[in-house]
């Protein structure tokens, strides 16, 4: 049964979570998400990814029912590690991943969204990590990614109170890039992705490689890698075309080489 629909639209890989009624993140769904990412990389045609949820929610969280059969701490640790690996792959994907969030992005749903590179939210969206209400804690790297986006103090508040925030508050706190209406959500996400796909793929990949250094407190290593990447990109055919087009005052015709 399809849980992550995939369609390629003009170099944009559109992934849609289809797990009604709440788009819960089951183990099978996470496995299929990983397979879709692998498929996108193997095909090599996309320059951006847009992830959205079908129905009323982006994703209301992990499938709690799957947890009830576990008896040992090691089983829960393995569960968390498996989810973390998938979301880590999203964060370190070779092309940008855009999350289009409507309705609820809670628990694992928010953890997935936080692993994406760009987030658009609707005005009525609710984003939160409610695990403490169940006597547990976030397990898919929520305690690590949330502070990176909004700082430690606000992360403590969100996690410990388990209270969600609105789409507007998420944008105010730096957790979302743009706030839009529900009708605008997917068109705006595709518009943003299209602005990326007209750029050169070698340059896109180098930027995706470089920016994470800033999150690792490795500025010196990051600038060293940036210089190497700059050398690789500047020697590409697309760079030559881009510079020539600039001199000739026309739009560049990139060939992704």
What is the per-residue pLDDT for 81?
Answer: 84
What is the per-residue pLDDT for 226?
Answer: 58
What is the per-residue pLDDT for 98?
Answer: 98
What is the per-residue pLDDT for 135?
Answer: 78
What is the per-residue pLDDT for 144?
Answer: 86
What is the per-residue pLDDT for 222?
Answer: 56
What is the per-residue pLDDT for 201?
Answer: 93
Helices 201-210 and 237-247: angle between axes, nearest 10 degrees: 110
Helices 142-150 and 108-115: angle between axes, nearest 10 degrees: 60
> How many C-beta atoms lie closer than 10 Å to residue 151's C-beta?
12
β-strand pairing of 97-101 with 48-53? parallel
List, for residues 3-57, the tens digit of each pLDDT value: 999 999 999 999 999 998 999 998 899 999 999 999 999 999 999 999 999 999 9
E-only strand ranges, 83-237: 97-101, 104-106, 118-122, 126-128, 165-166, 178-180
Burial (CB count <10 Å: 0-12, 13-18, 19+), residue 49: buried
What is the per-residue pLDDT for 34?
Answer: 96
For 164, phi then psi, to 5°, come to -75, 160
What is the per-residue pLDDT for 224?
Answer: 66
d(CA 252, CA 240) in angstroms, rounded, equals 10
d(CA 23, CA 4) in angstroms, rounded, equals 10
pLDDT by 10s per residue, the chain, length 257: 669 999 999 999 999 999 989 999 988 999 999 999 999 999 999 999 999 999 999 999 887 777 767 677 777 788 788 888 999 999 999 999 999 999 999 999 999 999 999 999 999 999 999 988 887 888 888 988 898 899 999 999 999 999 999 999 999 999 999 999 999 999 999 999 999 999 999 999 999 998 988 776 665 665 566 566 656 776 678 877 877 886 788 888 888 88
d(CA 85, CA 65) in angstroms, rounded, equals 21
Mapped onto helix, strand or coil, the DSSP state of residue 123 is coil
Q: What is the pTM of this model?
A: 0.86
What amino acid positions are annotated as catalytic residues?
Answer: 111, 131
What is the per-residue pLDDT for 234?
Answer: 63
What is the per-residue pLDDT for 52?
Answer: 97
Contact yes or no for 39/6 (Cβ under 8 A):
yes
CA distance to 84, 138, 148, 177, per residue, from 155 (Å): 19, 12, 9, 18
What is the per-residue pLDDT for 213?
Answer: 80
């Amino acid at each position: 049964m399809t849980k992550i629909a995939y369609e390629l639209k003009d170099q944009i890989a559109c992934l849609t979570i289809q797990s009604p009624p709440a788009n819960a993140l089951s183990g099978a769904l996470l496995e299929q998400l990983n397979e879709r990412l692998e498929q996108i990389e193997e095909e090599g045609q996309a320059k951006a990814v847009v992830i959205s949820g079908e129905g009323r929610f982006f994703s209301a969280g992990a499938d709690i029912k799957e947890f009830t059969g576990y008896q040992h701490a090691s089983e829960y640790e393995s569960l968390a590690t498996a989810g973390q690996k998938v979301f880590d792959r999203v964060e370190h994907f070779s092309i940008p991943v855009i999350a289009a969030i409507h309705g609820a992005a809670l628990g694992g749903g928010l953890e997935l969204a936080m692993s994406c590179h760009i987030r658009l939210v609707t005005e009525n969206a609710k984003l939160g990590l409610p695990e403490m209400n169940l006597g547990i804690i976030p397990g898919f790297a929520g305690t690590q990614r949330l502070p990176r986006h909004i700082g430690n103090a606000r992360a403590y508040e969100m996690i410990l109170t388990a209270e969600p925030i609105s789409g507007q508050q998420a944008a105010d706190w730096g957790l979302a890039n743009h706030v839009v209406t529900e009708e605008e959500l997917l068109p705006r996400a595709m518009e943003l992705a299209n602005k990326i796909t007209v750029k050169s793929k070698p340059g896109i990949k180098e930027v995706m490689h470089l920016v994470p250094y800033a999150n690792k407190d490795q500025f010196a290593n990051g600038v060293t890698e940036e210089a190497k990447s700059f050398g690789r990109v500047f020697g590409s055919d697309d760079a030559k075309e881009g510079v020539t087009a600039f001199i000739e005052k026309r739009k560049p015709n990139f060939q992704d080489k």
